[in-house]
């Protein structure tokens, strides 16, 4: 049973436009959510996170939105840049436990 | 900050051989994680340690896989005997002890079992 799902394997957007990556989870006990970005031949790197007590967190061009009732979060990138082309992983965790559960990732391609 | 260091970066070996993957976590991090990434199963957690003690090994696929963390600065993941279906990219990551602390990943070991 996959507890964190990223239903879109890939997304393609034009440079300068908004990219929206989506993530759904099934376990309502998760209370912390993270997004990671991964380039080829490298490990994932942390991008942005959000606690379940918030519904939005912003860091520059990146904003994460959390809808707890729908068990859904999304990552918005505005404006998208070609350097944002990567695989994006959504992860969910419990604050008091170390491990995270990852989605399968969404490959974002930003076209110049 | 040297980051999480994994070795080797690439490993090609024949079925039945023993494979040992190595990881040096970031100094001061007391949680360490081993992941496997495949096309079919995405990024799956194999095992994680806290303060050198295995906390959750429910993701270890079978007895052929074993992991150790003899001290705070070193961990190994061993596969014996290896099989072609073990071919994947294996990542090591480290973090602080809580779930709201981001994990720092190494660049992975690409393992090919022929």
Peptide bond into B7 cis (omega under 30): no
Q: Do B100 and A42 touch (CB under 8 A)?
A: no
Q: How many CB atoms within 10 Å of residue A10?
A: 10
Q: Cα separation of B87 and B82, whole Å? A: 9
Q: Do A93 and B93 touch (CB under 8 A)?
A: no
Q: What is the total residue count of chain A?
A: 112
Q: Within chain A, how many helices (H) and strands (E) appear?
A: 0, 11
Per-residue pLDDT tens over the stretch A22-73: 999 999 999 999 999 999 999 999 999 999 999 999 999 999 999 999 999 9
Q: Chain B contacts of A8, Cβ < 8 Å?
A: none
Q: Cα separation of A75 and A86, whole Å? A: 13
Pairs of CB atoms within 8 A across A/B: 70
Phi, psi of B93 (to 5 degrees): -140, 155
**Which of A98, A101, A103, A107 is best to mutate for the B interface (most B CBs within 10 A)?**
A98
Per-residue pLDDT tens over the stretch B85-113: 999 999 999 998 777 889 999 999 999 99
């Amino acid at each position: 049973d996959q507890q964190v799902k990223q239903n879109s394997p890939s997304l393609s957007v034009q440079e300068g436009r908004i990219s929206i990556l989506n993530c759904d989870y099934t376990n309502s006990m998760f209370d912390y959510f993270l997004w990671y970005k991964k380039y080829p031949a490298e490990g994932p790197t942390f991008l942005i996170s959000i606690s379940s007590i918030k519904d939005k967190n912003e860091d520059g061009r990146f904003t994460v939105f959390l809808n707890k009732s729908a068990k859904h979060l999304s990552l918005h990138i505005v404006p998208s840049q070609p350097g944002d082309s990567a695989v994006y992983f959504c992860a969910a965790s419990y604050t008091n436990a170390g491990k995270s559960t990852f989605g399968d990732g969404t490959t974002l391609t930003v076209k110049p | 900050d040297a980051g999480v260091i994994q070795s080797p970066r690439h490993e090609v070996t024949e079925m039945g051989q023993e494979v040992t993957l190595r990881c040096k976590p970031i100094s001061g991090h007391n949680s360490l994680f081993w992941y496997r990434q495949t096309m079919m199963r995405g990024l799956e957690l194999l095992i994680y340690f806290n303060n050198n003690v295995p906390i959750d090994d429910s993701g270890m696929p079978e007895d052929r896989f074993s992991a150790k963390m003899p001290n705070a600065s070193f961990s190994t993941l061993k596969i014996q005997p290896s099989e072609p279906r073990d071919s994947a990219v294996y990542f090591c990551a480290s973090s602080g002890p809580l779930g709201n602390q981001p994990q720092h990943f190494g660049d992975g070991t690409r393992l090919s079992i022929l």
